[in-house]
Amino acid sequence: MVTNLVLVRHGETQWNKDSKYQGAVDIELNKKGEEQAQELYNFLKDEKFDTIYSSTLKRAYHTVKDIADYQNKDLITIADLMEIDFGQWEGLTFAEIEESYPKLAHKWAKDPTCCKPPEGEHIQEVEERVGEAIDQIIKENRDKKVLIATHGGIVRIIIAYLLELPLNRMFSIEVDNVSISRVKFYDQYPVVKLLNSTHHLKQI
């Protein structure tokens, strides 16, 4: 049996454009993000998906909602696919975080497994909830093709989790807005077929 996961990061938001940390805050797509979602729709709408999932956050949900509607599929939301909760760092740029939390910011950027943002999630806690969600998705969709709309940090964690990579290297994986990554399972053995592809996007 072969199971296919198609992982999509949400379209651009204003906080993305402004280089602000956004995690649990429910930020909408901006105009460019909506246009990116349309490009994604044009590219994926005729690719047959058995099931379509999304984070509960609007920016992920609205990135694939039109695809789900076109294919007459329920868009199933899963809270455990939400982005990392950055706590007090939400809405700040890294420069602002450095200014307020100089030692912690540099330690976390170098190795996110060392510590966590104030009042935020530890990266290992995130991997635990995301891993459980992905394991359940795979269990329920054996030999099917699944589309998952989520977030940059979560795509990185999914790839690291499935390939058993060390989490302290997760930021070595680039994940752009509306990028597509594909993982194929051969007898439950994961193989990354595509990573961070944006060739479907026009110059918006």
The structure tokens 């990185």 sit at 156
Comparing CA positions, the residue from 43, 34, 58, 64 lying closest to residue 149 is 64
Task: In the chain, count H helices and then E strands.
Answer: 7, 6
**Residue 121 is among the residues annotated as catalytic for this protein:** no
**Residue 199 is among the residues annotated as catalytic for this protein:** no
Active-site position among 83, 90, 121, 127:
83
Burial readout 61-77 (b: 16 or more C-beta within 10 A, e: otherwise): bbbbbbbbeebeeebee
Residue 177 and residue 59: Cα distance in Å, rounded? 11
Active-site position among 10, 121, 127, 151:
10
Q: Which helix or strand (DSSP H or E) is residue 58 part of? A: helix 58-70
Residue 178 and residue 150: Cα distance in Å, rounded? 10
Q: Known catalytic residues?
A: 10, 83
